[in-house]
């Protein structure tokens, strides 16, 4: 976080039978999140050869902007929306710029 920004990778291993439903949940949420103050980017991707492994690359202008994001009702609701859809708990990796 050398430049004050917060860079994150969020990884979701989704049960294959609910993959499209889960992608739709994220697709609906993405435009809302991108309008948040301090959300500079959010890319939704999957891993080649492992299509049920969804990886988000996120950039927030600060830790405070990320806290704002996490406090939003739609972000809070995401946990309930993903209930029973994941093969394992979500993994968040904090990245450093250089």
Digitized pLDDT (tens) for each residue of the chain, 98 residues in all: 578 899 999 999 999 999 999 999 999 999 999 999 999 999 999 999 999 999 999 999 999 999 999 999 999 999 999 999 999 999 999 999 88
CATH number at residue 89: 3.30.70.100
Task: Print burial letters for 64-98: b (CB count within 10 Å at least 16), e (below 16).
Answer: ebbebbeeeeeeeebeeebeebbeeeeeeeeeeee
Please list the residues that pair with 45 across neighbouring strands: 55
Structural domain includes residue 49: yes
| CA atoms of 61 and 11, how far apart (whole Å) | 20
| CA atoms of 37 and 66, how far apart (whole Å) | 10
Task: Give the range of the structural domain holding residue 56, as residue numbers without chain letter.
Answer: 6-95
Structural domain includes residue 60: yes
Number of structural domains (the chain) is 1
Structural domain includes residue 45: yes
| CA atoms of 98 and 84, how far apart (whole Å) | 38
Q: What does pTM read for this prediction?
A: 0.89
Structural domain includes residue 75: yes
3-state secondary structure of 5: coil
Structural domain includes residue 1: no
Contact 1, 64 (CB under 8 A): no
Structural domain includes residue 53: yes
């Amino acid at each position: 976080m050398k430049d004050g920004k917060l860079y994150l990778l969020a990884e979701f291993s989704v049960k294959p039978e609910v993959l499209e439903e889960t992608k739709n949940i994220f697709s609906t949420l993405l435009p809302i999140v991108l309008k948040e103050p301090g959300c500079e980017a959010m890319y939704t991707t999957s891993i080649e050869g492992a299509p049920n492994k969804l990886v988000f690359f996120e950039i927030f202008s600060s830790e405070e902007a990320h806290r704002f994001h996490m406090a939003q009702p739609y972000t809070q609701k995401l946990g309930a929306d993903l209930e029973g859809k994941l093969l394992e708990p979500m993994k968040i990796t904090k990245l450093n710029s250089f």
